[in-house]
Amino acid sequence: MTWTQLLDISLHIDQHLGGLILQYGAAVYALLFAIVFCEIAFLPLFFLPGNPLIMLCGAFCARGLLSLPVMIPLLFAAVVLGSLVNYRIGRKLGYTLLAKDHAWLDRSALQKAHAFYESRGGVTFLISPFLGMIRTLAPFVAGMSAMTPRRFVLYVAGGGALWSGSLVTAGYFFGNAPFLRDHMGTLTILGVALGLGALVVSSGWRLIKTRLR
């Protein structure tokens, strides 16, 4: 299987998952883990499906093709481990940039980000997994701003448990509804658009507040 084929499967998992389960059996769990892990761990892969994929997994659990007791812990582990990798990348990059005197680097912005994540990180990581792009960006920024590792792990674990548990359960009970089943691709695009929209609004609001001071 080529990288192009893997990318196509990842982006159109709703069309391929049933056939993959029949062809590869339990090995599909590794693919599902990899998709969620890579989406959260690496910024350039933010476009991979998140919310629709997890709901789809729940729908296949309801059909008896996947195991619910396996799926929820598997996806939870993918979220937490992916977030930890992204955090480490952000932290490493942050240290590298701070070690040099870059004129474009706003150190005060990093200090504000650090204070924000220390005080409101819990809310951020409870909400961010549900927003495409934001769930990939949040761990990176937390690492770059040197958020306390122990606090980060605690918050990510809480958000990951809520995200994976609620969406798999929602997919289990509602994922086989015709509308959801037929519009998984649209939901994927909508999730990314909502995440980007939230990022733009948040950035714009901060810019306005800064200029008003």
Q: Is the pTM of this model over 0.85?
A: no
SS3 labels along 136-175: HHHHHHHHHCCCCHHHHHHHHHHHHHHHHHHHHHHHHHHC
Residue 146, pLDDT score:
82
Residue reference for tokens 């809310």: 123
The pLDDT value recorded for residue 1 is 60
Please give the structure tokens belonging to residue 159: 């958000």
Residue 202 is predicted with a pLDDT of 57
- Which of the residues in the chain have pLDDT under 50? 104
Distance CA 200, CA 206 (A): 10
- CA–CA gap between residue 193 and residue 52 (Å, rounded): 14
What is the Cα–Cα distance from 213 to 205, expressed in whole angstroms? 13
Assess contact for 163 and 101: CB atoms under 8 A. no
Q: Closest by alpha carbon to 113, among 203, 17, 186?
A: 203
CA gap 134, 124 in Å, rounded: 10
Q: Sign (positive/negative) of CA torsion 182, 188, 193, 198?
A: positive
> How confident is the model over 116-156, as pLDDT tens digits?
777 777 788 888 888 877 888 889 888 888 888 999 999 99
pLDDT at 181: 60
- The confidence score (pLDDT) of residue 186 equals 60
- Residues 129, 127: Cα–Cα separation, whole Å: 6
Instruction: Report CA-CA distances (Å) from 194 to 41, 154, 157, 190.
Output: 20, 26, 23, 6
DSSP secondary structure code for residue 177 in this structure: S
